[in-house]
Amino acid sequence: MPIPPSLNTPRRLLMGPGPSEVPDSVLRALAQPTLGHLDPAFVEVMNQVQGMLRTVWGTRNDATFALSATGSSGMEACLTNLLEPGDRALIGVNGVFGSRMVEVAERAGAEVTRVDQTWGKPLDPSAFRLAAKGRRHKVVAMVHAETSTGVRNDLGPIRAVANEYGALFVADCVTSLGGMPVDLDASGVDAAYSASQKCLSAPSGTAPISLSERALAVMAKRTTPIRSWYLDLNLLRNYWGGERKYHHTAPSNLFYALHEALRLSLEEGLSNRYKRHQRNGLALCAGLTAMGLQLPVATNVRLPQLTLVAVPEGVDASAVLADLRDIYGIEIGGGLGPFAGKAWRIGLMGGASQRAHVIRLLAALHSTLLRHGYSPPDHGVAAAEGVYDA
């Protein structure tokens, strides 16, 4: 193979299900000189990341840090550390990431009871109770913001179920953290994980995670070894604090980027950030609706940071994706599971959640749909602008 030339990657506007737009200052932070993982200057970076993560998570949990791998490793870390072979877990499934939780928990040796819900609808606490059959469970788990459908599953009602069955409550906050309130302590979440490349808008490659004292106490009572060494949260806690015992070589540059992304979130202010996501989500939906497009997820459970849009009859879903990318430089996502080929997913996460981007997307989508056999009754832009000007 001839040696390829240096990369010159195209600039896309990232409005898919993640990764999201990375702010320039985050890319600049990423490229700062690499430090060794034991350098006091890097230990200080870790400390600051940890402190800022506690604020963004809304927790005082000591065991709050970031894994040196992508969001899915956070899922595996939580489930593999908390579950032992034979333990019972009750897991809500209304999308790809709920299903993945089931698979990961089963690989950890747990006896899993699935609580299925139609994709595109929110999890139903009464279905959890029915499935639990009155038995104690070690873990009740759910996805807060289902990236595969754009549905919000509320934490409170499922937390209540976990209490009834004496279970730890595990929440996938991959697409919620930084884009909507999570408030781990107030929500009573025992173990949560997220990803750097969604509403925090850092590059992919690190997974924020947080565990309550209650979760740590359950881990301390394990009778079998944690199956993963790389994701052993006891070893990782000791690396991020305490003795700072060497575990692995932290990806220092990724942590610089996460540091800057967290800084930007806190400088904006979390409540401002949530309001921004909310408003841009509303504007986008107003525009899409004005174009006559159907949004399969009900308004009251729709995520502001991820919108599922039905593909109009007769339109080739993937041709639209390709045109948006190749002509307009915009990435949006395709549908998954029952929505494969039947819906698009538009992400307004972190850096992507901007008025300018919403308007740019609506205009590009309008032109693209026209070319692909669907004539929107309206341009959509005015309806979106109406939300901003209200």
Residue type, 90: L
Q: CA-CA distance, 263 to 258, in Å (whole number)?
A: 8
107 binds its own copies (CB under 8 A): yes
- Determine contact, residues 60/54, Cβ cutoff 8 Å: yes
341 binds its own copies (CB under 8 A): no
Touching its own copies, residues 75-94 (CB under 8 A): 76, 80
114 binds its own copies (CB under 8 A): no
Residue 48 vs 278, nearer CB to its own copies:
48
Using the contact rule CB under 8 A, the part of the chain among 56-64, 165-173, 180-188, 262-270 near its own copies is 262-270
- Determine contact, residues 304/348, Cβ cutoff 8 Å: yes
Residue 259 vs 277, nearer CB to its own copies:
259
State in angstroms the smallest separation of the CB of 156 from its own copies.
Answer: 27
Among 116, 131, 230, 238, binds its own copies (CB under 8 A): 230
Touching its own copies, residues 41-60 (CB under 8 A): 41-42, 45, 48, 51-52, 54-55
Among 121, 247, 372, 379, binds its own copies (CB under 8 A): 247
205 binds its own copies (CB under 8 A): yes
DSSP code, position 134:
T
256 binds its own copies (CB under 8 A): yes
Angle, vertex CA 22, rays to CA 18 and CA 28, nearest 5: 150
Residue 8 vs 299, nearer CB to its own copies:
8
Residue 44 vs 378, nearer CB to its own copies:
44
State in angstroms the smallest separation of the CB of 284 from its own copies.
Answer: 19
Touching its own copies, residues 297-326 (CB under 8 A): 325
Q: Measured between alpha carbons, how far is residue 349 from residues 46, 145, 178, 329, 372 in Å?
A: 24, 12, 9, 17, 27
135 binds its own copies (CB under 8 A): no
- For 343, the token pair is 């819906």
Phi, psi of 244 (to 5 degrees): 50, 45
DSSP code, position 222:
-
- Maximum Cα–Cα distance across the chain: 64
Q: How many residues sit close enough to its own copies to count as binding (CB under 8 A)?
A: 83
State in angstroms the smallest separation of the CB of 355 from its own copies.
Answer: 21
125 binds its own copies (CB under 8 A): no
Residue 1 vs 220, nearer CB to its own copies:
1
33 binds its own copies (CB under 8 A): yes
Using the contact rule CB under 8 A, the part of the chain among 129-137, 185-193, 196-204, 211-219 near its own copies is 196-204
- Determine contact, residues 166/158, Cβ cutoff 8 Å: no
For 345, how many CA atoms within 13 A lie in the half-sphere containing its CB?
Answer: 26
Q: Please state, as a whole number, how many other Cβ atoms lie within 10 Å of the Cβ of residue 9.
A: 5
- Determine contact, residues 71/174, Cβ cutoff 8 Å: yes
Residue 154 vs 185, nearer CB to its own copies:
185
244 binds its own copies (CB under 8 A): no
Angle, vertex CA 278, rays to CA 310 and CA 269, nearest 5: 145
Whether residue 19 is preceded by a cis peptide bond, meaning omega within 30 degrees of 0, is yes
Among 221, 223, 267, 313, binds its own copies (CB under 8 A): 267
252 binds its own copies (CB under 8 A): yes
Among 43, 62, 106, 315, binds its own copies (CB under 8 A): 106
- For 7, the token pair is 């990369």
State in angstroms the smallest separation of the CB of 39 from its own copies.
Answer: 6
Among 43, 62, 70, 131, binds its own copies (CB under 8 A): 70
Q: CA-CA distance, 26 to 92, in Å (whole number)?
A: 35
Q: CA-CA distance, 18 to 128, in Å (whole number)?
A: 29
Pairing of strands 139-143, 63-67: unpaired
